Amino acid sequence: MKLLRLMVMGLLLSSASTMILAQDDAPTGPGYINFRIQTVESDQLAQWESLRAEMSESARASGLAFYHVYQRLRGPAAGFLIVTPATAIGDPGGPFDEPPAVAASDNWLNAMQGVLDSQSLVTLQTYPDLATVATGPMHPSENFAHVRIRTAAAGQSDDFEQWLRDDLVPGLREAGAGDVRSARVVLGGSPRTWVTFSFVPGWPEPGVELDPRIIARGDDLIATQIDYFYSLRDDLSFTAD
């Protein structure tokens, strides 16, 4: 529930993604991404955009693989999601094969803190095998993302993952659902919380005829569910070549 409250305060996506965005030679193993969820003071949006553009350019110059900024389109418009590769923490570091986190000056950090109403940071593990298309942490396939956040019921986490693997994802593939990707929270929230990204061309999104028995089986495994709809801020985002 703590993660969901933070998402409600700040959220969304993808994402893309994240998540989890596609390229021809995408890895088949898991990866890690960070969700930085920010709610901006309503009269500070222009200043936030300027600061975020500055950080995006610094991230590009540092060699970061991607930096994706999403703006929430349902609810208050001052909610943003920044999706970046997760980096190792501490000494001697961790298993993440990414460059160091982008350094930010004290002046930049103070300025950013001054325009925010709230923020939180969550790290997720991506699952390329739980996607409808071959995926890797690259650019979103569409400019909009429907993000569904589900927390498995207590004691049902393994069964929920199995449902994703054996029922939902194959069903979505068969139904021609397009680009749908999955990730699980590993730091900053409950590890029973999963995020599903559906990259879509707009709202209303294309309909998907999914077997209702698949949905019914999942309903028995889910404690909470919440949905968001986001737009990629292409002017503040990049994917390295």
What are the pLDDT digits (tens) for 127-168? 999 999 875 556 789 999 999 999 999 999 999 999 999 999
Residue type, 167: D
Which of the two residues, 91 and 168, has the higher pLDDT score? 168
Q: With 60 as the cut, is the pLDDT of residue 191 above it?
A: yes
Maximum mean pLDDT: which of 18-32, 37-51, 123-137: 37-51
The pLDDT of residue 29: 53
Stated pTM of the model: 0.83
Rounded CA-CA distance 195/19 in Å is: 9
Average pLDDT of the residues of the chain: 84
Rounded CA-CA distance 227/74 in Å is: 10
Q: What is the percentage of the chain residues whose pLDDT exceeds 90? A: 64
Distances (CA, A) of 82 to 55, 110, 159, 228: 11, 18, 30, 14
According to CATH, the topology of domain 2-88+99-239 is: Alpha-Beta Plaits (3.30.70)
Which of the two residues, 202 and 20, has the higher pLDDT score? 202
**Residue partners of 50: CB distance under 8 A and separation at least 6:** none
The pLDDT of residue 207: 84
The pair of three-digit structure tokens given for residue 180, joined into one six-digit string: 């749908």
Rounded CA-CA distance 97/88 in Å is: 8
Partner residues linked to 239 by β-bridges: 66
The pLDDT of residue 150: 97
Q: With 80 as the cut, is the pLDDT of residue 93 above it?
A: no
The string of pLDDT tens digits covering residues 207-238 is 888 999 999 999 999 999 999 999 999 999 99
